[in-house]
Structure 1
Amino acid sequence: MNRDLYQTLGVSKTATADEIRKAYRKKAKELHPDLHPDDEAKANAFKETSAAFEILSDEAKRAQYDRGEIDSDGNPTGFASAGAGGFGGGFGGHSQTGGGSFQGDPFEDILAGMFGQQRRKPGPRKGADMRYRVDISFEDAVQGAKRQMTMGDGKALNVSIPPGIETGQTLRLKSQGQPSRSGGPPGDALLEVHVRPSKMWTRDGSDLRMTIPVPLETAVLGGSVDVQTTGGSVTLKVPEGSNTGTVLRLRGKGVQFKDKPGHLYVRIEISLTDPKNPALRDWAQKQ
C-alpha cells in the first residue's frame, strides 16, 4: 500500500527537517511498542512512522520520494520525474510538460517483442535487507560509540552508534544483509534502535537533566561536589547560599553532537548528612 509519508508524520510537504524530526519524536513516544505491548494497531503505526521518518529525514531520499522515483517503502517506482508535470509515482499517467522521458521504461520488453528485437536480460539484483531490533544504553545514545552486537540470528555486526540517536530510528549497515541470488551486491542490515532509559539522566533535545543531593553545609557555605556525567565524573562548583531547586549548568556535557554539544543541567536537592546532629538541632532552634 502506497502511503503518504507526510500524512503519516502529520506534517506538510514543505516541512523543514527540524519540523519532521519533532513530529517523529512526538509520534514515536505516543506509539512505541514498549508502552503498548498488546496493541497491534499501535505497533503497526509505529513501524509506518519509523519508515516515513527514515525517508523524509534523508535529504536525498526525500527528494526521490517527492519526484515519485521511490514509493513510501523506499522501493524504486520505475519512473523518474518528468518535470513539473511528471510522474507522481506508480502508474499515475504522464505528461509531456518539460519534455521529460521514461528512465528504465517498464514497457520496454513489450515494445521489443512487438518489433522483433531481442529482449534485454535483467541485471543482477541486490540481496534482501535484514531487519533487527537492538537495545543500546542511554550513555551510548548520548556519547556515540562503536560496538559489536550479536543479532537474533547469531550474526555479529560492528555498529557505529552516532551521538543523539533516539528510540525508533534505524541504523543502516551497508552490505550486511542477505547475499544476492543473481550476482548482485548483498542487501543491508537495518537496525531499529531502542534506547534503554536511565535512572540518573533524562534527555531534553540536545540537553540532559539530573538531580543530585548536596549536603546542607555545602549549599550554605559553597563548595564542590562530584557529578556523574555520561562521559565520566566531573567536579561541580556549588555557589554559596544555594537552595533546593537551584539549577546549575555543565556546558558541553549533554548530547555529544559534533557541531554543537548540548549541556547538562543539574538540579540541587539539599540533603542532611546527619539529621540528628546536635549542633544542627541547636542551630535550627535558634532560627
Structure 2
Amino acid sequence: MSKDPYEALGLTKAATADDIKKAYRKLVRTSHPDLHPDDPGAEERFKVISAAYDILKDPETRARYDAGEIDGLGAERPRRQYYRDFADASDNTYQQGRGFGADADPADIFAEILRNRGRSPGGDSAGRGFSARGPDVSYTLEVPFLDAARGAETRITLPDGQSLAVKIPQGTEDGKTLRLRGKGASGFGGGPAGDALITVLVRPHPVFRRDGDDILLTLPITIDEAILGGKVTAPTIDGPVGMTIPPGASSGQVLRLRGRGIGHVGRKAKGDQKVELRIVTPPDIDAGLRDFFTEWRKTHSFDPRVDLMKGASA
C-alpha cells in the first residue's frame, strides 16, 4: 500500500478534518486484524492506515507533511542544505561554510553530531550516551454503545500480559483515539517511554443510534395511540422516561426529548433524543377492529397519497 497518507485513506489534499475522521473510521472496521483474523493482509493495511491517520489528524503534522518536512511515516526528511556549526567553540572542525554537503552519508552526520555533543561544555570527555523517547504503540478497544455514551472504565491486556486500565470519557465517538501517556514502548538509553494510543470502536446498539450529540430512537406506537394520543414510556440512554404522543400522530413524525442525548465532561449542555414514531398494527386483527374500519372507510374519503401523486406528476 502507498505510504502517502492521503492515498492510504482514499483522500485528496482538499480533504477536511471531518473527511479524514470518517475515512479512518470506515477503514478501521474493514482492516483491523482483530476484526478480520482470517485476512492475512489486514495487519499490514491497518498499520498503514493508522500511520496515515496519525499524520493527517493533527493540523501541525499534516502541514509539515504537505510542506515536505516529514514523510508519510512521520520521519524527518533529509535536509538538502549544508549542515553547519556542529562543533562548539573549542572544536572548529566544521566551521561555517564548510558543511557536510548534500551528498554526505546521513550515518556519518549523525555520528558527528553525537561526538560533538560529547565534547560540548558540561559533557564528559567520553561523550554522553544517546537517549530517545520510546515509540508509541497502537491498540484497538471495542466498547459497548452505552459505555461510550455515558463513560466507563475498562481494562485491556497488552501482548506482554500487562493489564492496563482505560478510562472511556463520556461521549466518546466511534474511531476516537485515546492517549495514555508513558504506556507505550520503553525509551532508549534511559529516555521516557512512548504513549499507548487506544482507538475506540463503538459497538452498535440494537435500539439507539447516534447523530453527533443526539440520540436517535424509533418508537413503535399503536393505532389508537396515534389517533387519540396518550402517554407512553420511551427508553433513553439514562433509563426510561415518560413522553406524550400528540393526537393524530403519523409514522415518521419526530418528537424531541430535550437534554436526553450525549453529554461531555465539563460541558453543561447535552444533546437531545429524537424519537421517530412508527405505527404498528396488532399482529391479529379481530372482527371488531375490522368491522369498525370497514364502516369508517365507507363514510370517509381521506387519502394521504394525494399530495404525493401530484408531486410525482409535476
TM-score by length of 1: 0.72
Report the Cα offset of residue 240 of structure 1: 1.0
Runs (5+) with no aligned partner, structure 2: 84-98, 101-105, 120-124, 297-314
Deviations 1:79-111 (A, max 9, x none): xxxxxxxxxx2x363489xxxx99xx9715337
C-alpha distance 157-73 of structure 1, shift in aligned 2 (>3 A) = farther
Look up the SS of the partner of 1:217 in the other structure. helix
Alignment of 1:89-238 (within 5 A): 89=77, 91=78, 93-94=80-81, 107=109, 109-110=111-112, 120-143=127-150, 145-152=151-158, 153-161=161-169, 163-167=171-175, 169-180=176-187, 182-238=189-245
Report the Cα offset of residue 139 of structure 1: 1.5
Amino acid at match of 1:249: R
C-alpha distance 112-251 of structure 1, shift in aligned 2 (>3 A) = closer
Find the aligned partners of 2:51 and 2:115 in 1 and give their Cα distance. 39
Find the aligned partners of 1:286 and 1:13 in 2 and give their Cα distance. 65
Which of 276, 284, 288 is the matching residue for 1:267?
A: 276
Report the Cα offset of residue 172 of structure 1: 1.5
Find the aligned partners of 2:52 and 2:172 in 1 and give their Cα distance. 19
Report the Cα offset of residue 199 of structure 1: 0.8
**Aligned residues of 2:2 and 2:8 also touching (Cα < 8 A):** no
**Aligned residues of 1:164 and 1:255 also touching (Cα < 8 A):** no
C-alpha distance 123-259 of structure 1, shift in aligned 2 (>3 A) = farther
Find the aligned partners of 1:55 and 1:21 in 2 and give their Cα distance. 12
Amino acid at match of 2:277: I
Identity %: 36
Deviations 1:214-247 (A, max 9, x none): 1322211112322212233233321211133333
Matched residues, number: 265
Look up the SS of the partner of 1:53 in the other structure. helix
**Aligned residues of 2:229 and 2:246 also touching (Cα < 8 A):** yes
**Aligned residues of 1:32 and 1:46 also touching (Cα < 8 A):** yes
Find the counterpart in structure 1 of residue 8 from structure 2.
Answer: 8
Amino acid at match of 2:190: G
Report the Cα offset of residue 286 of structure 1: 2.5
Deviations 1:111-148 (A, max 9, x none): 7869x9678534432234444332211122234x2414
Find the counterpart in structure 1 of residue 87 from structure 2.
Answer: none
TM-score by length of 2: 0.67
C-alpha distance 4-274 of structure 1, shift in aligned 2 (>3 A) = closer
Find the counterpart in structure 2 of residue 38 from structure 1.
Answer: 38
Find the aligned partners of 1:241 and 1:139 in 2 and give their Cα distance. 33
Report the Cα offset of residue 182 of structure 1: 2.7
Amino acid at match of 1:165: E
Look up the SS of the partner of 2:207 in the other structure. coil
**Aligned residues of 1:112 and 1:119 also touching (Cα < 8 A):** no
Report the Cα offset of residue 35 of structure 1: 6.8
**Aligned residues of 1:54 and 1:170 also touching (Cα < 8 A):** no
Report the Cα offset of residue 174 of structure 1: 0.4
Report the Cα offset of residue 72 of structure 1: 2.9
Deviations 1:138-162 (A, max 9, x none): 122234x241413242413142435
Find the counterpart in structure 1 of residue 257 from structure 2.
Answer: 250
**Aligned residues of 2:259 and 2:272 also touching (Cα < 8 A):** yes
